[in-house]
Amino acid sequence: MLLKQVFVFIFLGFVTSCLCAVPKATKCRREDSDCLKRSAQSLLLLLAEGKVSPQLKPLDPLRISKIEPVLSNLKFLARDFIVRGLGDCIFDNITINAAKTILNVDAHCTLVGESEYEIKGKVQNLELGAQGHLAVLFKQLLLKIVLYIEDKKEEDKIYWHLHNWNFSYVVKEKSKINMSNLFKGSAKPTQAIQERLGETLTTLISELEPLIVDAIVNEILENIKTYFHLLPFQELMIH
């Protein structure tokens, strides 16, 4: 009986510490963009290391269980996709509208990712059916993200609820997506076939790149959405 009581006491202490120890970002005035950037930068380091809450995924490395985009005439699946570099992202600008309902975030990062992949279907009338290793590099990925916020009351406290977002991006320096074994089993590489394979790969990469970026950004923002629900609005970085 005593052992059971001790276990319950320890468990409740652990839960309480998890709930109370959520780090708070430095508070800034809404119009102070420099302060907002510094505060967000400090919070990013904690999020990257997974030191904020057990309810939040560490961001560096960020693990995505699967990426399975919808592609025309093609099935693609990347399992256990791991992204590195998010902890080194730099915030270039952060603004918040007067109503505190829209956040605009500009940032840049260099990210690398890898996983195992499967692909099956057609690209430019060329049959593909392969499994292998996927390696991704986005060097100087420039992100413009818009977050749409609304107040949500829970137990007499007001929380920010991230109900929607959109983003755009540009890879300023280099974008590389390599897939091992992609053309395994294809016909002997004559000059004509090599040209066709090259065109196929270019088309495939142009389709995959935005979908991989989308998966990464969405995973990050789901984390931010959870963070907003861990702290009441009064304890966030805006006042």
CATH number at residue 180: 3.15.10.30
229 inside domain: yes
Please check whether residue 92 lies inside any domain of the structure: yes
Token code pair at residue 19: 């709930």
- The answer to whether position 19 is within a domain reads no
Report percent pLDDT > 90 for the chain.
Answer: 39
**Contact predicate 130/119, CB 8 Å:** yes
For the chain, how many structural domains are there in total?
A: 1
Predicted local distance difference test score (pLDDT) of residue 16? 33
The total of other beta-carbon atoms located within 10 Å of residue 134's CB is 23
Label the pairing between strands 62-67 and 70-71. Answer: unpaired
User: Rounded to whole angstroms, how far apart are CA atoms 103 and 96?
Assistant: 5
Is 175 part of any domain? yes
Determine the structural domain holding residue 84 and report its residue range: 27-235
pLDDT at 165: 96
Sign of CA dihedral 210, 212, 215, 216: negative
Assign 202 a pLDDT band (cuts: 50, 70, 90): confident
Examine residue 129 and state whether it is found in any structural domain, yes or no: yes
pLDDT number for residue 196? 56
Distances (CA, A) of 154 to 130, 149, 157, 221, 232: 49, 16, 5, 21, 9
Q: Which is higher by pLDDT, 201 or 6?
A: 201
- The answer to whether 213 touches 62, Cβ cutoff 8 Å, is no
Per-residue pLDDT at 82 exceeds 60 = yes
- 99-147 confidence digits (pLDDT tens): 889 999 999 999 999 999 998 887 767 777 888 999 999 999 999 999 9
Is 151 part of a structural domain of the chain?
Answer: yes
Task: Tell me the per-residue pLDDT of 10-24, one tens digit each, with 9 for 90 and over.
Answer: 333 333 333 345 566
Please check whether residue 18 lies inside any domain of the structure.
no
Averaged pLDDT for residues 208-224? 93
Q: Does any domain span residue 1?
A: no
